[in-house]
Structure 1
Amino acid sequence: MRRLLLTAAAATAAALTLTACGTTEPAADDAKKPTERITLTDASGTKVELDGPAKKVVGTEWNVVESLVSLGVDPVGVADVKGYKTWDTAVPLKNDPKDIGTRGEPSMDTVAQLAPDLIVATSDLPPAAVKQLRKIAPVLEVRPADASDPIGQMTKNLDLIARATGTTEKSAQLKRQFQAKLDEGRKALAAAGLAGANYAFADGYVVSNQVSIRPYTSGSLIGAVNEKLGLKNAWTVKGDESYGLAATDVEGLTKLGADVQFAYIGSDGDKNSTPFAGVLAKDKVWTSLPFVKKGDVHRLPDGIWMFGGPESMGKYVDSAVAALTK
């Protein structure tokens, strides 16, 4: 699971139950109306045709699974269910989906047994795997991240999945709520005198007793959210073109200014993901950093998926604002 976390690949899927409103039976004419077909073009340029809103949906990455759950669609199949439950408690699963395997290597047999209406995948999945999945059911492929427009990509994916599942009104509501969170958070930080404050967000992991740190640059989703909050990204390293993530070590932290506020997310469910509160506690470089000495290090709550959708990002805003203004 950790290997896939580091490449930010993830998988998910969902099923939407449609219920009729009111206490009367639908008119005979309405009952005879054929379900309107849905035609979409996904991130790969493939035309995806559905007989109607997808009800039985499989997701191969956690960010698309989160979008499904946020939209009110309970996926019938999810990649690495245990991992999702560890890393994304901000938007918990409401059902008990079938585990379809890892995010990078879903089980084709398991997916086929679920007989889904739709499979939502990301372009992080190998093309050969996507090709196999298309033989099972329609596949809606999305680009999971874009460092040139992280928030725009997040909402674009949400809207596309909403169109496929007949939940466009919910998508619009989620976007409005997220914008309100940003506005509230920005005002709260400004009121606390933190407008323009230097801020560095990262995560870290331990492999073979070696600590690696992953800076979230301005091209990351969280980096883009931070800037909307009026914070200044303190990282000077360059991130990748999709996720806006970089790589450094403990010595690399010495390049951050003395006035920086440093925040991170780990998970108690993955002990290798919490070096800042673990092995670094006795590291002389770490303990000598000015922001560490001043206590300007903030561990944000577990379970906020750093590559998720508007609900995870909304909860991130609440957590970051609370940490910086306490």
Structure 2
Amino acid sequence: MLRTLALAAILAVPAALPSHAFELAGDTGTVSLDAPPESVAALSWGLAEMAADLGLPLAGVADVEGYRTWVGTPALPQEVRDVGLRTEPNLEALGALEPGLILGSDQQIDMASRLDDIAPVWIRDHFSAAHDNAETARRTYRDLAAAFGKLELAERRLIKIDAAMQAAGDRVRTAWQGEVPPILPVRLLTPTTVRIHGPNSMAAAAIGGMGLTAAASGAPTDWGFVTAPIEALADYPDAAIVHIDPFAEKDALFASPLWSAIPAVAAGRFAVADLAWTFGGVVSLEILAERIADALVATTK
């Protein structure tokens, strides 16, 4: 009798729902798969950067040549396929690639349903005035790593990135004998306009990671910058201005009376940093810090 009751009790317990081996929560829902995807397509350079750094099975990237020109590090796998523009992915190329997962940003939200016809789509809005962009990049990096069973690797890499930023700051403090002014990261666009990177920018986050002070203040913006006339640089007379290359019209601007009248320039506190991607993920923080440090140290020699 007791055995009969025990058997009946076991049969009455509902069967447990199958658990998914792969789950990745995003801004438009959670991707749940029975196994980790064997190939990934990234439609954002920031996501491609993080996927490459974590060693994910990256098969396709939007605008591969643009990534290699503007981002560069970490390098993409040689065999990676180009799947069109970031703002306009090539759906045929994506379909032919047959990825197991598509990684997208806010630029692809409007086309998420069409992309989902090709493969499961994971979306994360990286750049928004409503959140801290650098912290969101860290969260994305950890989330991707955890889903692919690489969280321990990610945590080691984050420790290394933070240490590299601090070391970059130490180099600047040594070169400037401890008296480092606020730093204004910019990108010169034309002889009359400049992009000033301020609150919520990855460049400002890198400067903070160096233990230094970013010069620009004000309300955070989605991408962390404002576009202003060149004369606006005069509003930062005590700053060290660091332009992040490239800028094809240097000769025209640097020879102008307007340029030499900018207080920071006249005081010798202007530096040019080698190319670094200012809208990337956590890996770009390390690269930005090192390029900014190189530029500031060079001004003291």
Q: Is the 8 A contact 1:239 1:246 kept in 2?
A: no
Alignment partner of 1:120: what SS? strand
Cα 1:203–1:164 change in 2 (3 A) is: same
* 2:63 corresponds to 1:80: yes
Identify which of 261, 277, 294 aligns with 1:322: 294
Give structure 2 stretches of 5+ with no counterpart: 1-17
Partner of 2:124: 142
Partner of 2:189: 205
Give structure 1 stretches of 5+ with no counterpart: 1-33, 268-272
2: CA distance, partners of 1:119 / 1:166? 18
Percent sequence identity over matched residues?
23
2: CA distance, partners of 1:129 / 1:106? 9
Q: Cα distance, 1:200 vs. partner?
A: 0.4
Q: Is the 8 A contact 1:263 1:300 kept in 2?
A: yes
Q: CA RMSD in A?
A: 2.3
Partner of 2:242: 263
2: CA distance, partners of 1:36 / 1:102? 32
- The count of corresponding residues between Structure 1 and Structure 2 is 279
1:244 maps to amino acid: G
1: CA distance, partners of 2:245 / 2:136? 24
Partner of 1:42: 26
2: CA distance, partners of 1:158 / 1:222? 18
Q: Is the 8 A contact 1:203 1:265 kept in 2?
A: yes
The 5 Å alignment of 1:66-145 reads 66-125=49-108, 127-145=109-127
TM-score (norm 1): 0.78
4+ aligned runs moved over 6 Å, structure 1: none
Residues 235-265 of structure 1 show CA distances to partners (whole Å, capped at 9, x for unaligned) of 245441x2211110112112111x3211122
* 2:145 corresponds to 1:162: yes
2: CA distance, partners of 1:317 / 1:128? 34
The 5 Å alignment of 1:285-324 reads 285-302=258-275, 304-324=276-296
2: CA distance, partners of 1:158 / 1:219? 18
Alignment partner of 1:140: what SS? strand
Partner of 1:222: 203
2: CA distance, partners of 1:169 / 1:103? 30
Residues 69-105 of structure 1 show CA distances to partners (whole Å, capped at 9, x for unaligned) of 1011252111111111110123221323221111101
Q: Is the 8 A contact 1:301 1:319 kept in 2?
A: yes
2: CA distance, partners of 1:117 / 1:88? 25
2: CA distance, partners of 1:325 / 1:314? 16
2: CA distance, partners of 1:184 / 1:282? 35
2: CA distance, partners of 1:104 / 1:196? 39
Q: Is the 8 A contact 1:265 1:300 kept in 2?
A: yes
Partner of 1:16: none
1: CA distance, partners of 2:37 / 2:251? 44
Q: Is the 8 A contact 2:199 2:218 kept in 1?
A: no
